[in-house]
Amino acid sequence: EPEVTQTPSHQVTQMGQEVILRCVPISNHLYFYWYRQILGQKVEFLVSFYNNEISEKSEIFDDQFSVERPDGSNFTLKIRSTKLEDSAMYFCASSVTGEQFFGPGTRLTVL
């Protein structure tokens, strides 16, 4: 069964460093998303991407964040200068329409 994959599973970085989180969505899906979940809190939407451009973004998704679909399979989230409060699980999701399927997540720890 096709699934969304994410790498790395864990990332530890120093405050101020750039990180790139990678996702491979399900191959025939058209919509791509990033969400995050701070430990013990609910899942929060960051950004959605459709037809090679951002279709929606939340107030969390500020200038420090960017997304790219550099080729036909990968979907990346870049955080330019990480802050302590960026520590969270980051989930990628994809959909055709309706059901959103999530990857296993990347646990980002900012020290």
Residues that bind other proteins (CB under 8 A): 30-31, 33, 35, 42-45, 48, 50, 55-56, 58, 89, 91, 93, 95, 97-105, 107
CB 73 within 8 A of CB 29: no
Q: Which is nearer to other proteins, 66 or 89 (CB)?
A: 89
Minimal distance, residue 62 CB to other proteins, in Å: 16
The answer to whether 109 and 55 have CB atoms below 8 angstroms apart is no
Q: How far is the CB of 42 from other proteins (least distance, A)?
A: 5
Question: Length of the chain, please?
Answer: 111
Omega before 70 within 30 of 0, i.e. cis: no
Report the residue number, 82 or 106, with the smaller CB distance to other proteins: 106
Alpha-carbon dihedral sign for residues 50, 51, 55, 58: positive
8 cis-preceded (ω within 30 degrees of 0): yes
Complex with other proteins: residue 18 or 56, whichever CB lies closer: 56
Nearer to other proteins, 10 or 71 (CB): 10
